[in-house]
Structure 1
């Protein structure tokens, strides 16, 4: 969209208005807590509306999943920020070098100004309110760009933000890819984007024109590593829950499973039993979420069929009629074994209920497999051997880890969340989110008794002797 178009002019005008509001004194503790209280009420008082909006966007989104994976963690993050905010805002004393005593040093966290947040479609509530919580806690005004694939949720968020926070604090922007392109090019004080690695590169390039700092929460192929002989019954419940939450449309979903070749049959049998128990008759099951739209549905079918054509063994785990599943826009959990490296499912983030299985003979072989690929957003390790767990944590570089479960590190608000390399840069959640949206202002308070006056010109013998003490004798 060209500069000077009505939408571009509108977005620039909105940013300018918020920048003017942000130019005054930093919002105090009472104001920021008031903003967070408004967010919390917005979530609590409209739960049915949130559930209905997301369900309309997906065609079928489990109400339990919306409450559990969106509303609950959003409220948890708001509650933590409100409780910790006084301490986060307090200036931090820092030490000063001996040579500058009795000067005093401190760091003051100040708002950046106006933050931009670009929200994906897969968790449109949590991935809007999570960054919004961090940005408001830090005292910023915020512009939110919602995905064009979640228009109902975007419209609801726009209405409720206006009611509970006001346009002088938060502005929600809805629209298509053309609007997103203009949004990414605005001169924000910070821009947080959640989405694919491919689009993340485009967003970062657009932000670079303004030297806008970015936090990129991207994706990647998150490995799930089963150690040899691990209890399958214990593992498969977590694996099915983590993989099929939101029908696999989760940036931290297990993307493929690495397991010892001796454990393959036991794993598949236990997994099949758990899937059929957890999601019976998924076509009409309200707990089983649909694929977001026909384009993504067809993409997943194409990747599945390509793997089969390249020699992979493909097995859908489902007790329902395929035609009924297709009519509902749902895909069953589908195991893919023996796919060659060139198969798309083996090198692209799947974002759906396809699950490649890769066997290994030696544990070191599994670690080498992970490390030979781009650094993932998450690693899931199932292992009862503490020494081997520590070995793995030392050797694998990734965004975050859950040991003996899936996904749960993401909803711990006192842990930072973020990727590494192609899976992202920067962190948010909790204190790290507050820091991301803050400028840490260093302040030195000089004393009238400061010895630094001895180094001021003209430089005579005194400063030369002082430098000998400071630097040591010249050799």
Structure 2
């Protein structure tokens, strides 16, 4: 009976998904013609709702992740509202057709780029920053004039329930709708011919999303992750570097796609940096393991499976000879893992082969910069990289000889908060860019439009049969080849 009930419920949800999708397809042509003012009004409604429910947002994120209200205000509410405000300020300019140059051979024509919505878009969002990574792409999609279906992670149910309420108050379902559920709901959605799919999550699931989107030749944005390196040389401000590394690794319990995963430090300052990282972790979260476990500023692992995964990586590294320079304590009942610093981690340890996505950091010394760069380049291209140095030439060399999504120099994570910068990975760490104008463009089709005047058209002399023009065609072709 229970199984039959479940099947009935799933069938009803499947029908509702298709009904809403069809409704959005029919309505999309109206939304596509919306003015900048109409789109801005929608974004203002969302901004007002986020402010109205800010206490409930902090509470929901606490219940899902045990994230402190201060951290939630910065990384959830602050990011989304900042994205909305930036978009409102610049949307009219982004929407305006852009005039571009025309080659001499096309004299008499005018060329422009029109930024048009892609259509009906699907946003599949993760659990680690439930409001931020769900609503920021929705902001970009709405600004670009699209209809959107959002499917947030089932692992942050309190956040998802509140998000559904907010979206329901701000948008009619024919413009923005949301469906909750597990991977089966995502699979059901991916069967539909969306015009664009925006996914945030792991590379493994990203490959599945891309494969399913390819069935309909839908464009994709994949915001993935990677094993993010940090380089610290002997000229760096070690105390500042240690503080920022410790802060970014502690944020969200290390469950962040831009977290520091490992640190490559010049060997003569290795011990000093490790000591300072430990010092700052103790200052931030508590002087001993008991105090740190009681800290209201440390998140828990999202669920039991993820807790066991991070624990397995940590134990494997220790069994292979890694040394715990700080932390190491965990509590299975509360899914708590203490901020942990590992040194002397053998390269064959599993933790070198995958993104940790937890509060475990590796520190490895290097002799010269070439060794550090070779180590980074031997691995898949990461989402973020951090460089700590007072040496301009070294910074320039690292930027020139590595490839990754984005970089912050002499700070950690700051690039994420600048809406003027593109955010996104490359290859293994993602496809496409988001934030600000780059997010708007990700949900647009850049449509080239050339207007020919009535006096002269370049193509007229080339109409067949070509032999009737004699040598004229040859002469014109030589000019075209020369001046195009």
TM range (shorter): over 0.9
Alignment of 1:83-162 (within 5 A): 83-162=89-168
Give the corresponding residue for 2:55: 48
Q: Give distance in 2, aligned partners of 1:260 and 1:238.
A: 18
Query: How much has 1:310 moved relative to structure 2?
Result: 1.2
Give per-residue Cα distances to partners, 1:235-277, cap 9 Å, x unaligned: 1110111111001000110001111222122112111111111
Give the corresponding residue for 1:446: 452
Are positions 1:282 and 2:292 aligned together? Answer: yes
The farther-off stretch of 21-30 and 452-461 is 452-461
1:283–1:328: 8 Å Cα contact kept in structure 2?
no
Give the corresponding residue for 2:462: 455
Give the corresponding residue for 2:64: 57
SS of 1:422's equivalent in the other structure is coil
SS of 1:421's equivalent in the other structure is coil
Any gaps of 5 or more consecutive residues in structure 1? none
SS of 1:48's equivalent in the other structure is helix
Give per-residue Cα distances to partners, 1:280-301, cap 9 Å, x unaligned: 1222221111111122112111
Give per-residue Cα distances to partners, 1:184-233, cap 9 Å, x unaligned: 33211110100001111111111111111111000110001111242221
1:192–1:214: 8 Å Cα contact kept in structure 2?
yes
Query: How much has 1:352 moved relative to structure 2?
Result: 0.5
Alignment of 1:456-475 (within 5 A): 456-459=463-466, 460-461=469-470, 462-471=472-481
SS of 1:115's equivalent in the other structure is strand
Give the corresponding residue for 2:3: none
Aligned residues: 466
Query: How much has 1:181 moved relative to structure 2?
Result: 1.5
Q: Which residue of 359, 363, 374 maps to 2:365?
A: 359
Give per-residue Cα distances to partners, 1:126-153, cap 9 Å, x unaligned: 1011111111110111111110101111
Query: How much has 1:342 moved relative to structure 2?
Result: 2.5
Task: Give the root-mean-square deviation of aligned CA atoms.
Answer: 1.8
Alignment of 1:149-188 (within 5 A): 149-188=155-194
Query: How much has 1:437 moved relative to structure 2?
Result: 0.4
Give the corresponding residue for 1:74: 80
Alignment of 1:378-393 (within 5 A): 378-393=384-399
Give per-residue Cα distances to partners, 1:60-91, cap 9 Å, x unaligned: 11111110111111111111111101110111
SS of 1:157's equivalent in the other structure is helix
Q: Give distance in 1, aligned partners of 2:476 and 2:278.
A: 76
Q: Give distance in 1, aligned partners of 2:371 and 2:481.
A: 51
Q: Give distance in 1, aligned partners of 2:480 and 2:304.
A: 70
Are positions 1:398 and 2:404 aligned together? Answer: yes
Q: Give distance in 2, aligned partners of 1:443 and 1:360.
A: 53
Q: Which residue of 12, 16, 22 maps to 2:18?
A: 12
Q: Which residue of 426, 432, 444 maps to 2:438?
A: 432
2:274–2:325: 8 Å Cα contact kept in structure 1?
no
Give the corresponding residue for 1:312: 322
Q: Which residue of 33, 37, 43 maps to 2:44?
A: 37
Alignment of 1:259-338 (within 5 A): 259-280=265-286, 281-317=291-327, 325-338=331-344
Give the corresponding residue for 2:225: 219
Q: TM-score, normalised by structure 1?
A: 0.94
Q: TM-score, normalised by structure 2?
A: 0.93
2:293–2:338: 8 Å Cα contact kept in structure 1?
no
